[in-house]
Amino acid sequence: MRIIAVNAGSSSLKFQLLEMPSELVISSGVVERIGLDNSIFNIKYGDKEYRQTLDIKTHKIAVNMLLDKLVELNIVTSLEEIQGIGHRVVHGGEKFTDSVIINEEVIEAIESVIELAPLHNPANLTGIMAFKEALPNIPAVAVFDTAFHQTMDPVAYMYSVPYEWYTKYGVRKYGFHGTSHKYVSQRAAMMLGKKIEDTKLIICHIGNGASLCAVDGGISIDTSMGFTPLAGIPMGTRSGDIDPAIVQFISEKENKTLDEVINELNKKSGYLGLSGFSSDSRDLWEAVKRGDEKSILAVEKQAKIIADYIGAYYLTLGKCDAICFTAGIGENASETRALVADKITALGTVLDPIRNRIHGEETVISKRKSIIKLLLIPTNEEVMIARDTVRLIN
């Protein structure tokens, strides 16, 4: 059975075509700069790659082009081979605790939480509608970033603010990256040789966006992102947690609107804000090696907050079998893993500096004597989307 896993952003469309249940990736690709000039269309299949630069005005055109190319390049013999489409949807509000088959009611429900994810949900919906038009008879499934965290207890998800903010407007912690946290916790249980029900894990998803999750028996009990993905640990361009009074203070001092200040917290903060020159971890680590003080501050600050969250989640879990590193930085930046490991030794963790040089593959990076194992686990959100799609359409 062949399944397409889709991740539609505001100007991009990423996809993977997977053979299920073997989970073999037959093809993957991305259309970038949709709606702008010189859009880039790229498909990889086997050891081949097809790339074209042209103007792609809408997601609908991108989807049609993608489906045409799948046939033209003989990746599939006919579109009938595709039996399901899984869509990543960022926000499911409190309505979705699991993935669902997409129907009119689900589309309306996704629309109803646009307010909570104004940048992401409309883009995700555009992808859903474009595939629905192109392949109207193929079942489609929505897989939500927030669903995995719906198991949190009110003590974890409520903010200490007037209660009506929650009842009237849904102000609470939702958490994101759920698909990744779930995948990594399942892989961690396999690596530990334990049933997932018997594991207590801390997952550090550190990419451009970053969040930590405390997972007890396969269930999310707390996570660092909040009402929006701005909360938690410092990221590529996002501040993570700050004193909210700063927003008003800067708005007055710099004569900026609240929107402008929040935009700076989302787009000009984190690595970029402190280093003053880049949001990319590779650039920062190069600068750190040259002794650039602001870059040192940026990576140290992030590592400190990650360690603080690990400490908090250790207490929440009561015990911990493994701390897992995933996503762009977690999988590749051994320097960041080493910095974090150095700050959590009080928990009895012992990093193996040689094993920590490994990147991008599943492996244990702690020494045997480490009380809590440190694991490196590359995430795979597409495979989770494909698995849920198969489970629901069956």
Q: Which residues are catalytic?
A: 145
Burial (Cβ within 10 Å: 0-12, 13-18, ≥19) of residue 384: buried
Nearest approach, Cβ of 328 to ligand ADP (angstroms)? 2
Give the end-to-end CA distance of the chain in Å, rounded to a whole number: 11
236 is an interface residue for ligand ADP by CB under 6 A: yes
Report the alpha-carbon distance of residue 30 to residue 46 in Å, rounded: 16
Of 283, 275, 363, 280, which is closest to residue 324 (Cα–Cα)? 363
Q: Is 9 in the site for ligand ADP (CB under 6 A)?
A: no
Query: 19 or 280: whose CB is closer to ligand ADP?
Result: 280
State the nearest-atom distance from the C-beta of 361 to ligand ADP, in Å. Answer: 13
**x/- site string to ligand ADP, residues 267 to 306, per CB under 6 A?**
-------------xxx------------------------
Q: Residue count at the site for ligand ADP (CB under 6 A)?
A: 12
Report the nearest approach of ligand ADP to the CB of residue 335 (Å): 8
Taking the complex as a whole, the smallest distance from the CB of residue 264 to ligand ADP amounts, in Å, to 19
Element containing residue 313 per DSSP (H, E)? helix 293-317
**CB contact at 8 A, 40 and 155:** no
**Bridge partners of 216?**
200, 219
Residue 39 to residues 14, 120, 133, 204, 363, Cα–Cα distance (Å): 13, 20, 22, 33, 37
Q: Is 213 in the site for ligand ADP (CB under 6 A)?
A: no
What is the identity of the amino acid at 328? G
Residue 135, number of CB atoms within 10 A of its CB: 18
Between 306 and 329, CB nearer to ligand ADP: 329
Distance of closest approach, residue 235 Cβ to ligand ADP, in angstroms:
8
Of 294, 313, 292, nearest to 302 by C-alpha is: 294
Checking DSSP bridges between strand 82-89 and strand 24-32, what pairing results, if any?
unpaired
327 contacts ligand ADP (rule: CB under 6 A): yes
Minimum distance between the CB of residue 327 and ligand ADP, rounded to whole angstroms? 4
Return all residues near 57 (Cβ < 8 A) that are at least 6 apart.
34, 35
Residue nearest to ligand ADP (CB): 328
Instruction: Please identify, using beta-carbon distances, which residue of 199 and 334 lies nearer to ligand ADP.
Output: 334
Residue 127 engages ligand ADP in binding (rule: CB under 6 A) = no
On whether the CB atoms of residues 252 and 259 are closer than 8 A, the answer is no
Separation CA 104–CA 240 (nearest Å): 35
333 near ligand ADP, rule: CB under 6 A: yes
Q: Between 188 and 207, how does the x/- string for binding to ligand ADP read (CB under 6 A)?
A: -------------------x
- On the 0-12 / 13-18 / 19+ scale of CB atoms within 10 A, 116 is buried
Nearer to ligand ADP, 209 or 273 (CB): 209
Of 84 and 240, CB closest to ligand ADP: 240
- 324 near ligand ADP, rule: CB under 6 A: no
| Closer of 282 and 391 to ligand ADP (Cβ) | 282
User: Residue type for 8, please?
Assistant: A
- Does 356 bind ligand ADP (CB under 6 A)? Our answer is no
Least separation in angstroms between CB 246 and ligand ADP: 24
328 counts as binding ligand ADP under rule CB under 6 A:
yes
Stretch that binds ligand ADP, among 73-81, 196-204, 294-302, 325-333 (CB under 6 A): 325-333
Q: Which residues bind ligand ADP (CB under 6 A)?
A: 207-209, 236, 280-282, 327-329, 332-333
